[in-house]
Amino acid sequence: MSILEEISEFLQKGKRKNVKALIEQALEEGIDPKMILKEGLMSGMSIIGGKFKREEVFVPDVMMAARAMNVGLSILEPKLVEAGNEPIGRVVIGTVQGDLHDIGKNLTAMLLKGAGFEIYDMGVDVSAEAFLEKAEEVNADIIGLSALLSTTMLQMKEVIDLLKEKNLRDKYIVMIGGAPITNEFAEEIGADYYTPDAASAAEAAKKAVESK
């Protein structure tokens, strides 16, 4: 097994220390940090995401893998900046106004990050204006909206309506998710994508920016 495959394997098992040690070793061996990111960390996250989607693993496994990824990234990031590595896209993500639930949103952010996106996590109770302002500021590709409650899911429409009002609707891909959300609801409010789980969200986001 190559060292990059090993990194991917240990990441999937959430073994932070092994991931850290192997990345340090890989850098010493002169392996391109971009390769370590892609073939090691991102590959591991993509495999764990796939297993999550197929219900072979569950939330704890994704959280532990994401934590191992973050440990790895903290070593890699300075090298990636030097190498001028660009993210595959930028995502502004948050839980909509009036809603304070963030477990699903955080999980989605982890898997988007693992897929190579730069994440701007706005936290919870985020107003439509704040989403838009941040998206404009960082030149985002995607706005990701989360809601757990049937009460607050209606706020998703507010964000889309605001984008329309400012003539910015076509500039952004709007993705929505959360327990009460359905495809019908996404269509009704004019969102671009609804995905039922965090791993599908990362996959859809990847495809969406590739075809943008």
- Interface contacts to another protein, rule CB under 8 A: 14, 55, 57-61, 63-64, 67, 97-100, 103-104, 106, 124-125, 149-151, 179-180, 196-197
Alpha-carbon gap, residue 131 to 97, rounded angstroms = 10
Give residues with Cβ within 8 angstroms of 136, minimum separation 6.
168
Give the tokens for residue 201.
């969200």
**Of 17 and 212, CB closest to another protein:** 17
* 92 three-class SS: strand
Smallest gap from Cβ 120 to another protein, in A, equals 19
Cβ of residue 201: shortest distance to another protein, in angstroms?
Answer: 14
Provide, rounded to whole angstroms, the least separation between the CB of residue 59 and another protein: 6
Residue 67 and residue 60: Cα distance in Å, rounded?
A: 11
Query: How near is the Cβ of 3 to another protein at its closest, in Å?
Result: 23
4-16 b/e (C-beta count within 10 Å ≥ 16 → b):
bebbbbbbbebbb
55 vs 82 by CB, closer to another protein: 55
| Cα–Cα distance for residue pair 47/114, rounded to 1 Å | 10
| CB nearer to another protein: pick between 89 and 104 | 104
Q: For another protein, give the closer residue by CB, 3 or 130.
A: 130
Q: DSSP for 12-47, please give it.
A: HTT-HHHHHHHHHHHHHTT--HHHIIIIIIIHHHHH
Q: How far is the CB of 194 from another protein (least distance, A)?
A: 12
Q: Which is nearer to another protein, 39 or 106 (CB)?
A: 106
Two structure tokens written together for 197 = 């789980």
